[in-house]
Amino acid sequence: MIRSIGHIALALSLAACSGNGSSQEPVPTMTGKHVTIIHGYVASPQDHWFPWLKAKLEAQGAEVAVLALPDSANPRADAWLAYLKANIHHHDRNSYFVAHSLGCITLLRYLDGLDQPTPIGGFVLVSGFADSLSLLPQLDDFTREPLNYPHLTGLAMRRSVIASRNDPVVPYRQTAALSRSLKAELHSIDHGGHFLGSEGFTELPPVYDELARMIRHKYGDTEVSIR
């Protein structure tokens, strides 16, 4: 299913969160839930909307870790994967993951390597990709090997992808293709850019809202378009 969110609706969602500290939907209790946030290329846990999301989730009782991947300006696929293996301590039904940009393929590669009968709660991918980016060929090592999509869809009970139609770094078509491969719900935002702090995204309510839906186990079956 594709949900399209226009810039006006996104602005209203941001204003709602900034004004009273809550999103438009009822806030779930997140006690006992573990959320791991994984940043992308040339980023850190202090960048973009990561601190806001961490604080918002912790306020609802979740345990949150924002990983600091090594040498994000010159990342190596093997080093990032090794870091996830060493620093992710929860991957069960109460475990949820949020990743941005290069963090998405790194997370998927990590999950692809898990051999366990118990599924994870779910993941939200923002501006993700699984194929080479023409603007960033130095990241090709991250996408060289194909993913085992049947394994990933079987492992993650709930899967959501957020994409911007005017993303200057990761083309929308690549994020949409990843969503289809993962059989994930795709949320399209008209003017999200690459969801960077420098573009004004120090908060990103759609990510929190998706996690809240996952935890409540509630998803709609109809397409929603907001312009």
- Which amino acids are annotated catalytic? 101, 167, 194
| DSSP letter assigned to residue 86 | H
Q: Are 144 and 167 in contact (CB under 8 A)?
A: no
**Which residues make Cβ contacts (< 8 Å) with residue 47, sequence separation at least 6?**
39, 196, 197
